[in-house]
Amino acid sequence: MKRENLAKNTFFYTVALALQKVLSFAYIVFLARAIGVEDMGRLGFALSFTTIFAIFLDFGLTQILIKESAKNKEESQKYLSSAISLKIIGAVVVYGLVFLFINIMNYPPLVKNMVYLAGVVMVFDSFTLSMYGIFRGHHNLKFESLGTIINQLLVITAGVLVVKFDLGMVALVGAYLVGAIFNFIFASSFLRYGLKILTTIKFDWQMTKRILWLSLPFAIAGIFGRIYSNIDMVMLSKMTTDYEVGLYSIAYKVAFAVQFIGMASLATLYPAFCSYFVESKELLAKSFERSVQYLLILSLPLAVGVIAISDKIIGPMFGADYNQSVLALQIMMISIPLAFLTYPLGAMLNACNKQATNTTILGVTAGVNIILNLAFIPLWGHVGSAVAVPLSYLVIFLAGLFFVSRIIKFNKKFVLLSFGRILFSSVVMGVVVMFLKERYHFVVPIVIGSLVYIILLYALREVTRVDINQIKTLLFKKAK
């Protein structure tokens, strides 16, 4: 595939993902105000609980479909048919585990019914993910982009109707099922008519063994990552109340609403790192330094700005009942720069054939996160889970930095000086925002603070016009 077309697809998907996040965030704001803190906690738990099990159903198969169909497009049908056959068996087993565990944990009937339905959503989403994996292997992100947006619009429409007619919390989970079923039909239809690939079942034992063996490393890494990302909500639900879960879920969604920016950077970072690892260690080090610098420029002011103004956002946006989420949000925002930096660190390890190291780091972090939640939740409730977030990301960051430092010799002085200038600019911006937030609507401090930040970056020569163009290329690599 031509590089320009790949860049165009990447840009298109990034824009679609950003739009989906905006729509999703708006929907969460609506739900938070409409259903209250406790029901928000129940919904957050049901979705997080089944999300943990989803990785066992996918088991890294989608990554293999992407990789193998990219290498040999003629084999796409064979790989997809085998993957679907495996997932049909897996769906029965994994859904059975969802049913078993939610009953062992002895949740109320309402929560159980919500989880049962969320489990069906999980199954549909898993099959859809594999079909989109084939599209990715064929370097076509347009259908996935369109499907993602329409799916979100359907969920919002169905959810608003559920709330309007007061159909209950189980029906609210059903709104997600509406989107999931559409996305499944949409993906399978365009796969058939666009790529002439059918969603058929064909069990081939030799192919099955090969797929399972290839998918194992991805599955292990995915399991660790999924546990780390969702176990806090489950533990909080079991150890405290739905009210605490509701407070935490809102703080978490606000804090990580912008994480897609870091995720989008992988579209260009990973291929570049792979290429430079073979061609030039010097270019590899330079690209790593620049990626760290640019992601710090984006993440540090976000963290400082939200910390400074969060008390003026949560109440007006979600309602006064969520004011107790402010402290948790401020604590979690500390982790945003660390979270952004895990993307170039992880991409570097994977590009340099250190996937096992990256997986080990994720496994250790998942363990640390569980221990921290066990220790802090009894002490501070949802705030305790919030404290565990930046500490866990610090583990990933320090471990990743240690191993990356052994692979490449990057300019640590350049990175430290950049960090110092960006942090100084962000803190000054934060002081300005805090000074103005008591006098004006929160939009005014945000605008003025952003201008102050940009001016300081220019004054300190941390950013030039060339840098701005390179940031655009890094995040939104659009074809000319």
Task: Specify the pLDDT at position 71.
Answer: 67
When comparing pLDDT for 388 and 106, which is higher?
A: 388
Using one digit for the tens of pLDDT, what is the confidence trace for 386-422?
Answer: 999 999 999 999 999 999 999 898 899 999 999 999 9
Task: Specify the pLDDT at position 284.
Answer: 87
What's the token pair of residue 156? 């919002």
How many CB atoms are located within 10 Å of the residue 100 CB?
10
When comparing pLDDT for 420 and 204, which is higher?
A: 420
For residues 28 and 49, state if they share a domain.
Answer: yes
Using one digit for the tens of pLDDT, what is the confidence trace for 213-234?
Answer: 877 777 787 788 888 788 898 8
**Last residue of some domain: 233, 254, 280?**
233
For residues 207 and 248, state if they share a domain.
Answer: no
Encoded amino acid at 212, one letter: L
Task: Specify the pLDDT at position 359.
Answer: 86
How many CB atoms are located within 10 Å of the residue 379 CB?
9
Burial class (CB in 10 A: 0-12, 13-18, 19+), 461: exposed
Q: Tell which residue, 339, 334, 327, 338, has the closest CA to residue 251.
A: 327
Determine the Cα–Cα distance for residues 365 and 275; give it in Å rounded to an integer. 29
Task: Specify the pLDDT at position 10.
Answer: 58
For residues 297 and 260, state if they share a domain.
Answer: yes
Left if phi > 0, otherwise alpha if psi is -120 to 50, otherwise beta: which for 409? beta
**Last residue of some domain: 204, 233, 262?**
233
Task: Specify the pLDDT at position 471.
Answer: 53
For residues 392 and 256, state if they share a domain.
Answer: yes
Number of domains in the chain: 2
For residues 224 and 269, state if they share a domain.
Answer: no
C-alpha radius of gyration, the chain, whole number: 22
Q: Would you state the torsion angle of the CA atoms of residues 323, 296, 473, 351, taken in this order, to the nearest 10 degrees?
A: -110
Question: Do you know the residue count of the chain?
Answer: 480
When comparing pLDDT for 351 and 46, which is higher?
A: 46
Angle at 246 between CA 100 and CA 307, to 5 degrees: 135
Task: Specify the pLDDT at position 3.
Answer: 44
For residues 257 and 351, state if they share a domain.
Answer: yes
Task: Specify the pLDDT at position 467.
Answer: 62
Percent of the chain with pLDDT over 70: 90
Task: Specify the pLDDT at position 70.
Answer: 66
For residues 357 and 269, state if they share a domain.
Answer: yes
For residues 251 and 168, state if they share a domain.
Answer: no
Asked if 137 contacts 76 with a C-beta cutoff of 8 angstroms, the reply is yes
Asked if 248 contacts 236 with a C-beta cutoff of 8 angstroms, the reply is yes
Percent of the chain with pLDDT over 90: 50
Using one digit for the tens of pLDDT, what is the confidence trace for 308-324?
Answer: 999 988 988 898 899 99
Distance of CA 11 to the CA centre of its chain: 18
For residues 337 and 477, state if they share a domain.
Answer: yes
Asked if 310 contacts 326 with a C-beta cutoff of 8 angstroms, the reply is yes
What residues contact residue 71 under an 8 Å CB cut-off, 6+ apart?
none
Does the structure show a pLDDT above 70 at 1?
no
Q: Tell which residue, 258, 256, 252, 257, has the closest CA to residue 387.
A: 252
Q: Which of the given ranges, 62-76, 213-227, 413-427, 465-479, has the highest pLDDT on average?
A: 413-427
For residues 127 and 34, state if they share a domain.
Answer: yes
Determine the Cα–Cα distance for residues 49 and 102; give it in Å rounded to an integer. 9
Q: Give me the helices (H) in 310-459, please.
A: 314-318, 326-333, 335-351, 355-380, 382-407, 412-436, 443-459
Task: Specify the pLDDT at position 469.
Answer: 66
Burial class (CB in 10 A: 0-12, 13-18, 19+), 423: middle
For residues 184 and 322, state if they share a domain.
Answer: no
* Structural domain range at position 105: 1-233
Determine the Cα–Cα distance for residues 188 and 462; give it in Å rounded to an integer. 48
Using one digit for the tens of pLDDT, what is the confidence trace for 180-201?
Answer: 999 999 999 988 887 787 777 7
Does the structure show a pLDDT above 80 at 103?
yes
**Last residue of some domain: 215, 233, 251?**
233
For residues 414 and 286, state if they share a domain.
Answer: yes
- Tell me what the pLDDT averaged over the chain comes to: 86
